Amino acid sequence: MADEERTHRGIGVSPGCAYGPVVLVSPPVRAPEGEAAAADPQQALTQVKAAFESVARDLEERAGRVEDTAAEILTATALMARDKGLLKAAGTHLDEGEGPATAIESAVSEFVVQFEALGGYFAERVADLRDVGARAVAAVLGVPAPGVPDLAEPSVVVAQDLAPAETAVLDRTLVLAIVTSGGGRTSHTAILAAQRGIPAVVQCDRALELPVGALVAVDGDLGTVTLEPGEAFVADLAVRNERRTSALDGSFGPGRTSDGHAVALLANIGDVADAEAAAAQDLEGVGLFRTEFLFLSATSAPTLDEQAEVYAQVFAPFGRRRVVVRTLDAGADKPLAFADLGPEENPALGRRGLRLSAERPDLLDVQLQALAIATRETGADVRVMAPMVATAEEADWFARRVREHGLPTAGVMVEVPAAALRSRHVLADMDFASIGTNDLSQYTMAADRMQGALSELLDPWQPAVLDLVAATCAGGAATGTPVGVCGEAAGDPLLALVLVGLGVSSLSMAPSRIPMVRLALSRHSLPECQRIATVALGARTAAAARTRCLEQAVVEITDLL
Amino acid sequence: MPSRTATIASSVGLHARPAALFVKQANESGLDVQVARPGEEAVDATSILGVMTLGAKHGEQVEITAEGKGAEQVLDALVTLLETDLDAQG
């Protein structure tokens, strides 16, 4: 086979290299739209029963291979698959003229509704029940069971895309790397993989054609997947890994350029577990704490006490290090069960972020109050910023509310081009600003960030996006407001040099990306970063910007990229 | 029809492991066993999903009924099971 055929190219979204066998994640299966009624409901019921039975046996077989708690959960789930009530409900739907797969989904939904109404422990079982349903639907349709298969050995997980829940439960010791044909630079898979230090490649061409069990080498930096690489290739990969590791070993402490200009290196986190993991690492604090996790899964608004307790748990591990909190960024595509403003034609342009807070100031006030309590309790250096700010009025409204709650440091995220262009005015009364390059790219390029096919437009090297970063920094310089970056761009070592050259004073990223960024900064002076930034702004295309900056950066660093 | 009232002893209530053990034992009896919160509609005691939807918590009472040969003994055994803190064992 020619080398070119063996190399599958994608976008590297989580650094590191891995070598191992392919396991394939089958996509979720739904009952076919308008599935025909069963000709003989009685016979169909036998098929449905057999499907549930095979799911139950499969679960029991898996239970036999694991221990204790995991086995108990699988056994209990098997009991659900064999449940008479569930089968009876499916039978009723078959009699009503539904096809077998549809009847399974309907029966499962009935119990899901009841479980969700019970809340608490029961609501948590909904995922298990849905999993049973999805597996039974697959069985009755005769297609592979959905989801991540049981991993018997360390493997490379290949999928069309992974749901956030699937990525979250992946066993780090068994998942060597993640490769997806879909997804994008800022998809959940990419963010979570980087967060957990799992090398990942998204938008990988012909990924689903990789044969199950075949050995592949994954390069999460270059974004390549090589099928059955030769010994020499694997050896080279190991050498490169080795060289990176030894280079990074010499990189520690606060971020600074070779001439001593400080650039704070911070972590993006999403919950208490992230906070504890990040705090244990060599970094200067948190540049983006997304608070959505508390809200998105809740059926009612989390109370003041609940919020204060969780925030304190997040702040405490960081001691005196800074923690930048982003207030609730929900609405539209991330609707809240308890504050749903209804469907919108263009969710990304709808009532999300601060716009939701303007509509429901009660939610924001409770959150700010809880943040103030947790700040007092822990003595942490907490700074609060608002998402989706477009105008100076919005920024002022937010800052006033933050300060009224006794929180001293208020800032805004710059994600909307309007805020970047008018930063001199928007930032006038702010203590800091943070550029969210993912959304800024989406809004600058008018390209949906969830659309994997638009990845090229969403490339943070796009000169138009860099122009807006420069504009924001100019506004920040005029008003004396420090400007940071907390999007994916901050974790690209080469782009980080450009950002610092443009005037960015802090970079927040997945913790696994910090060592390489720190190393890159330590080998360049501020004037060198400024020169590289000028080169980037002068390029006509994103690709040219990157290529020309690669030529400008020191070889010691570019060799490792 | 023979019936009994039992107080849920398991600290987590009638779900998870206690519910699974209860359903298993009801199944093994081979009888038609029903369980209900007092005064409410009964559910099939051999259905884990049915039993779970009762949402019976620690200290709450449930009524169980059974039909057929040996129903009295089956009910006695089920009451004993419900009135044991099943979560405390292993």
- Give the domain ranges of chain B: 3-82
Mean residue pLDDT across chain B: 88
B window 8-67, beta carbon within 8 A of A: 12, 15-17, 20, 23-24, 43-44, 46-50, 52-53, 55
Binary contact (B55, A129; C-beta < 8 A): no
Does the CB of A85 have a partner CB in chain B at under 8 Å? yes
Nearest to A93 by CA among A109, A79, A104, A80: A104
Cβ neighbours of B47 in A, within 8 Å:
83-86
Interatomic CA distance for residues A176 and A165, integer angstroms:
18
Residue A549 known to be catalytic: no
Please answer yes or no on whether A79 and B23 come within 8 Å at the CB atom: yes
Chain A residues within an 8 Å CB radius of B41: none
Overall average pLDDT of the A522-546 stretch: 97
Q: How far is B58 from chain A (nearest CA, A)?
A: 14
Predicted local confidence at residue B89, as pLDDT: 47
Q: How far is B25 from chain A (nearest CA, A)?
A: 13
Average pLDDT over residues A438-465: 90
Residue A158's nearest CA partner among A281, A25, A57 is A25
Contacts of B23 in chain A (CB under 8 A): 79
Asked if this assembly's ipTM is beyond 0.85, the reply is no
| pLDDT score of B71 more than 50 | yes
Q: What is the pLDDT of residues A492-519, one digit of tens each?
A: 999 999 999 999 999 999 888 899 999 9
Per-residue pLDDT, A522:
96
Mean of the pLDDT values across residues A269-284?
A: 88
The answer to whether residue B58 is catalytic is: no
* Structural domains present in chain A: 3-26+147-232 (3.50.30.10), 41-141 (1.10.274.10), 254-558 (3.20.20.60)
Residue of chain B minimizing CA distance to A73: B16
Using the predicted structure, report yes or no on whether residue A527 has a pLDDT greater than 70. Answer: yes
**What DSSP letter does each residue of A160-184 carry, written as one string?**
S---HHHHHH--TTTEEEEEESS--
Over the stretch B24-57, which tens digit does the pLDDT of each residue have?
A: 899 889 899 999 998 888 999 999 888 988 888 8
Which residues in chain B are contacts of A85 at CB distance < 8 A?
Answer: 43-44, 47, 49-50
The answer, as to whether pTM is greater than 0.90, is no
Structure tokens at A107: 């029966």
pLDDT confidence band for A290 (50 / 70 / 90): very high
CA-to-CA dists, residue A36 to A100, A105, A121, A215, A519, angstroms: 9, 14, 36, 42, 61
Listed ranges A161-165, A182-186, A458-462; the one with the highest mean pLDDT: A458-462
What average pLDDT does the structure give for chain A? 90
Q: Please compute Rg for chain B using Cα positions.
A: 12
Of A458, A433, A438, A437, whose CA–CA distance to A447 is shortest?
Answer: A458
Nearest to A85 among B15, B47, B55 (CB): B47
Q: Provide the shortest C-alpha distance from residue B48 to chain A (in Å).
A: 6
Element (DSSP H or E) covering residue A477: helix A463-479
Of B15, B24, B49, the CB nearest to A85: B49
The whole-angstrom distance between A18's CA and the closest CA on chain B is 39
Give the pLDDT of residue A64. 79
* Residue A496 half-sphere exposure toward CB, CA atoms < 13 A: 33
pLDDT classification of A72: cutoffs 50, 70, 90: confident
Distance (Å) from the alpha carbon of B5 to chain A's nearest alpha carbon: 23
pLDDT of residue B88: 58
Q: Which of A486, A524, A529, A549 is catalytic?
A: A486
Owner of token pair 């606060």? A254
User: What is the Cα–Cα distance from B3 to B72, expressed in whole angstroms?
Assistant: 8
Contact A200, A194 (CB under 8 A): yes
Distance CA A129, CA A217 (A): 36
Please report which helix (H) or strand (E) contains residue A463, including its range: helix A463-479
Which of A197-201, A340-344, A402-406, B67-71 shows the lowest mean pLDDT across its residues? A340-344
A 10 A CB-CB count for B17 gives 16
CB–CB contact B43 A72 (8 Å): no
CATH number of B3-82: 3.30.1340.10
Range with the lowest mean pLDDT among A309-323, A451-465, A468-482? A451-465
Catalytic residue among B15, B34, B35, B64: B15
